[in-house]
Amino acid sequence: MRLLLVLMGLFLMVRLFSFAQDKPQPFEVSVLIDPVGLRAVSTASSGGSWEVSIHSSNWLMPDGKHRNGDLRIGRIVEKPEIDAWFGRLPANSVVRLLVVDDKEAADGIERYKLVSVLGVGDDAILNGIASELAKTVTFEDDVFGTFTLDRQLDLFFAEVGADGERIQVSVTSSDDMPDRDELVLLKAFWAGWPRWDPRLREFAAEELINMKQDAWLEEEEAPPTMIDFASRMKPQDIGINREGEFVVYYDDGDLFFGHSIVVEGTLAAGPTEASIQG
């Protein structure tokens, strides 16, 4: 009987040791949070439970080795906690975190689960990268003037004038420079803007005037004509990708109570879709 009890005890010890070995062990990493900062996504239809996630391209492992690539660190929190987490983990900051491996992840991205925030990171290399990211990056163009990089959106923005209006144009960032292919297409689009603008306004009027007349008329407001509809639109933002697909945002002139009128299309086919957003 005593032998049986001893064997059972040994068996339980082996099981407990095996369980402890299988359970991920926490470890410390220093992480440079990317320019977008913390993300939050609802994990339940009720909206009560959220996953906050840190994205990083540069981090320091416990063995002292610096890593770069695509790192995601997540934690499930309750909705009232979200603001506090965003305040503790700002974009472009270096933080020390206690994490465990996310054994469930199988998408090729390095993923950890966040256990706790240990404090501000003091790694010289990561802080140096953070300092570079904080600098203003500009690019001078012969047509659009000064482009300025918005790291959160990963886009370069510039402003140009047309008929007394200021219009914002954008191209994707590529290694902290405007994407050359997009810039060439944007210049071609802008060179033809005196023809494109009235064409896009007319298209938007044709697509949206029935919506305006059916559901967006204020009390005692007269239904606008096609000409009135188009004339009240004011261009605000222009973007285009390297496939020649453009999107133009217009101020609606209070046609839709301040919503933006958005016209999309391609350089080859012209305008293909008009909608209201915002």
State pLDDT tens for residues 224-277: 999 999 999 999 999 999 999 999 999 999 999 999 999 999 999 999 999 999
Q: What are phi and psi of 233, to 5 degrees?
A: -80, 135
The Cα 260–Cα 272 span in angstroms is 17
Q: What is the pLDDT of residue 225?
A: 95
Residues 60, 65, 70, 72, CA torsion sign = negative
Complete domains list, the chain, with CATH: 26-129 (2.40.50), 138-277 (no CATH)
Query: How confident is the model over 73-88, as pLDDT tens digits?
Result: 999 998 888 888 888 8
pTM above threshold 0.75: yes
Q: Report, as an integer, the average pLDDT of 205-209.
A: 97
CA gap 33, 27 in Å, rounded: 18
What DSSP assignment string belongs to the chain?
-HHHHHHHHHHHHHHHHHHHHHSPPPEEEEEEE-TT--EEEE-STTS-EEEEEEEEEEEE-TTS-EEEEEEEEEEEEEGGGHHHHHHHS-TT-EEEEEEEE-TT--SSSEEEEEEEEEEE---HHHHHHHHHHHS--EEEETTTEEEEEETTTTEEEEEEEETTEEEEEEEEEETTEE-HHHHHHHHHHHHTHHHHHHHHHHHHHHHHHHHHHHH-PPTTPPPPPHHHHHHH-EEEEEEE-TTSEEEEEEE-TTTTTTPEEEEEEETTTEEEEEEEE-
